[in-house]
Structure 1
């Protein structure tokens, strides 16, 4: 049976009210493991998604020695290791520390930084944001105050193309054509311009402004949008703190973003591949490391960029062919970049279905959809992307509940699907 219906639109984020958490932040990390049905889970923060090839090999070694062998990409360009046995936490921490992946144990969960993955590689950004990335990470790890940030607090460093600006980060830096940077605190329209040389420090000041507001409110808000403060008041606080820090600035309007990642294929002097449902097998990871001269860049869209500076067209073409032979996606016409899913059964006890299996079975129908699909095993919708999409959520009733999510606030449509084999009909019911 398939039923379609309309539901009332949700209020836009600008109308959000304050959220106060009634418990501490339990977001998993490399040192604080999370218990799942398939064993313990570690989430390794990788600022900007950047890994040296030596670090990539260390991660693969940890996954094979201690976990289920796979590496799972997150929507923030981080990596999860799953299926960890009890009592392996100390060994995992030792492996990651030796590889330089845990520069500060006290800050490991707050190093949530996304950055434009093609920055400096394809000529389309306004500047290479790598200096901002390394600078901000160093400042975070040196700040005692930053240790108070939630594991969900997010920084975004945009090279001017607008890709990570659209990810609703708590603190966003975006390169400007005049050589400066726009700094925004929260998802509103207000921003301030700072010089490029002060950008990393200004981003930390913005995070400190948020923490001040949290303390004054007496709440346990983890993200800026949860504070419920009027945007002018928050921007005024930020400007006051910047002045106190000696950082020159002026008010500006924030630029919009796209939240679109690199397309699969050859992009500039790099290879770009999509990882179906975000899981990398050991052979896929090993081939990536073999091809990469120096580093990998994991993206918030569950893709990987392999910089190959100075490579010939033949070398790039050969490298892409080798990666696609392992099952990674190098064709921009593939439907896979438009399909995502949480871990589902059997890894998550809260999941009502094996959503990854059902998503793979519905790939052909999803490829004909006008919107991307995200499959979730329960109403929490863990890892769901930003922007317009169709949510396919498994319910406790054994059925899937589909709904459109519209960033512009238009009225969503929904449908109920008894059998995943009827996905095409369900999609037609809510998109026609």
Structure 2
């Protein structure tokens, strides 16, 4: 076939198909993909989380404080019931109650049970030097120097303590019911701290702060110029070679008043306030000791070993009160000013109550200034309501010490103070 012939058909290649273009998408292809929140949303989320966390924390604190308040109220109610037989009317009329006939119900709460478990110090944590001479004799027996560890007050370190023996006749409930309120007291510069007790072994002990310089009574007798004379000597025979200055005497009286004001504010009645139960620190500052144990001592013995410091109403009915503590404080100031002489040495115990009711009072020592004399007399008012409070006594003595000292700084609450004076003449 002739390819060049006109009848020969020519080959026409097919046209390539036109490429169609895709229509534009109706929506964002990544619209279904997860996206990060904008910054303002993240900020809002963080704020909400913080609000929730703070709310939870506040609720926890509220619940804790509520339970703590309930615990404190339960303890206070227990103490109020225990001391109901010791309260008196403000007008001075006594409320006579038979303690055997009226027995307050014992509060059995988890809170008190918890505190009783915490007050117990394991015997293995206590070391007592019983082979040495006892450091004192208390209402119940010997007092020994010892040491203990595991106390939260000192982060578990070994610290010195005074271990007071307790008679076997006292039950654990009797001891704990009286000791828990004392153990709950906060640290005070003029009050001996109660660390706890050991009741699981014999003998039982109450563990308190160890104060190194002994009793105020011993210090007054030793340094007051009467070591060579009788403690029963007449106050007119005071010797002049004593080493205790007037400034030191005033500081002793102020320290005791400061400690007693704290106890009175905590509704703690001492019951046996005298120079024998005041301890001296290494800096010769006073600490009130042996407070709040009158109920225990009455369970052991009925002998009134502190009758010379008791008020007329207590000699009559045997009931303790804050006003009776004020009376005893006046006798203690008399001890300080007479360098440890025995009060009412000219009288016998059998005549004391009758003489006090008839108006007899201790003789103001020679050389005692008028302010101190008036203070003692005000503490010995026959009517309880006319006696000053420890707050008033403390403020009065604080002003007096501040006036007499070369430099004496008192804090706003007079709880912390620093004396920069030559208290003891060398």
Which band: TM-score by shorter chain?
A: under 0.3
User: Considering only CA atoms, is the larger Rg found in Structure 1 or Structure 2?
Assistant: 2
Query: TM-score normalized by structure 2?
Result: 0.23
Query: TM-score normalized by structure 1?
Result: 0.22
